[in-house]
A and B are shown apart, each in its own frame.
Chain A
Amino acid sequence: MNDDAAIAANGHVSFLDYQGKYKGIRAWILSTDHKRIGIMYLFALITFFAIGVTFGFLIRLELLTPGKTIVEPQVYNEFFTLHGVIMIFLFVIPGIPAVFGNFFLPIMIGAKDVAFPRLNLLSWYLYVTGGILIIVSIIMPGGPADTGWTFYIPYSVRTTTNVIATGTAAFLLGFSSILTGLNFITTIHRLRAPGMAWFKMPLFAWSLYATAWIQVLATPIIGITLLLIIVERVFGVGLFDPALGGDPILYQHLFWIYSHPAVYIMIVPAMGVISEIIPVFARRTIFGYKFIAFSSLGIALFGSLVWGHHMFAVGMSDAGQFVFSFLTFMVAIPSAIKVFNWTATLYKGSISLDPPMLYALAFIFLFSIGGFTGLIQGALSVDIHLTDTSFIVGHFHYVMFGGTGMGVFAALHYWLPKMFGRMYNMKRAKVAFWIIFVGFNTLYFPMFVMGWLGMPRRYYDYLPEYTVYHQIATVGSWILIIGMGIMFTNLIRGILKGNVVTEKNIWGGETLEWATDTPPIHENFEEIPLVTGTPYEYKQNDIEELPEEVIH
Chain B
Amino acid sequence: MISQDNTAVHAHRDDIGSRMGMWLFLFTELLLFGGLFFLYSVYRFLHQADFHVAAKELDIIIGTFNTAILLTSSLTMAMSITAMSRDNKKLSISLQVVTILLGISFLINKYFEWMTHINHGIYPGSNDYLSMDSGRRLFFALYYVMTGLHALHVIVGTVLIGIMTRFTVKNVITHDSYVKLEAAGLYWHLVDIIWIFLFPLFYLIT
Interface residues, chain A, with chain B CB atoms under 8 Å away? 111, 115-116, 119, 178, 181-183, 185-186, 189-194, 216-221, 223-225, 228, 231, 235-239, 244-247, 250, 253-254, 257, 528
Given A190-B14, A237-B124, A239-B145, the answer on whether A182 and B21 have CB atoms closer than 8 Å is yes
Given A194-B6, A247-B42, the answer on whether A186 and B21 have CB atoms closer than 8 Å is yes
Q: Is B137 an interface residue (CB 8 A)?
A: yes
Q: Is B193 an interface residue (CB 8 A)?
A: no
B153 → chain A, closest Cβ, in Å?
13
Q: Which residues of B contact A224 (CB under 8 A)?
A: 32-33, 35-36
Q: Which residues of A contact B134 (CB under 8 A)?
A: 238, 244-246
Within 8 A of A (CB), among B49-73: none
Q: Which residues of A contact B130 (CB under 8 A)?
A: 244
> Which single residue of chain A is at the shortest CB-CB distance from B38?
A254
- Whether the Cβ atoms of A221 and B145 lie closer than 8 Å is no
Q: Which residues of A contact B39 (CB under 8 A)?
A: 239, 250, 254
- Whether the Cβ atoms of A236 and B124 lie closer than 8 Å is yes
- Whether the Cβ atoms of A116 and B21 lie closer than 8 Å is yes
Q: Which residues of B contact A219 (CB under 8 A)?
A: 28
Q: Give the CA-CA distance A320 to B14 in the complex, in Å.
A: 45
- Whether the Cβ atoms of A217 and B31 lie closer than 8 Å is yes
Q: Give the CA-CA distance A378 to B121 in the complex, in Å.
A: 48
Cβ 8 A contact of A192, one of B6, B42, B142: B6
- Whether the Cβ atoms of B141 and A237 lie closer than 8 Å is yes
Given A115-B14, A217-B31, A220-B31, the answer on whether A245 and B137 have CB atoms closer than 8 Å is yes
Task: Determine the main DSSP class of B at the interface with A.
Answer: helix
- Whether the Cβ atoms of B138 and A245 lie closer than 8 Å is yes
Q: Give the CA-CA distance A224 to B145 in the complex, in Å.
A: 11
18 pairs of residues in contact across A and B, judged by CB atoms under 8 Å: A111-B9, A115-B14, A178-B28, A182-B28, A185-B24, A186-B20, A193-B9, A194-B9, A216-B27, A217-B28, A220-B32, A238-B124, A239-B39, A239-B141, A245-B134, A245-B135, A250-B39, A257-B35
A167 → chain B, closest Cβ, in Å?
15
Q: Give the CA-CA distance A244 to B47 in the complex, in Å.
A: 14
**B20, B24, B27 pick with most chain A CB within 10 angstroms:** B24
- Whether the Cβ atoms of B17 and A189 lie closer than 8 Å is yes
- Whether the Cβ atoms of B145 and A186 lie closer than 8 Å is no
Q: Which residues of B contact A225 (CB under 8 A)?
A: 35
Given A193-B9, A235-B124, the answer on whether A223 and B142 have CB atoms closer than 8 Å is no
Q: Which residues of B contact A231 (CB under 8 A)?
A: 145
Q: Which residues of A contact B38 (CB under 8 A)?
A: 253-254, 257
Given A193-B9, A239-B39, 14 new contacts (CB under 8 A): A178-B28, A192-B9, A217-B31, A237-B124, A238-B137, A239-B141, A239-B142, A244-B130, A244-B137, A245-B133, A253-B38, A254-B35, A254-B38, A254-B39
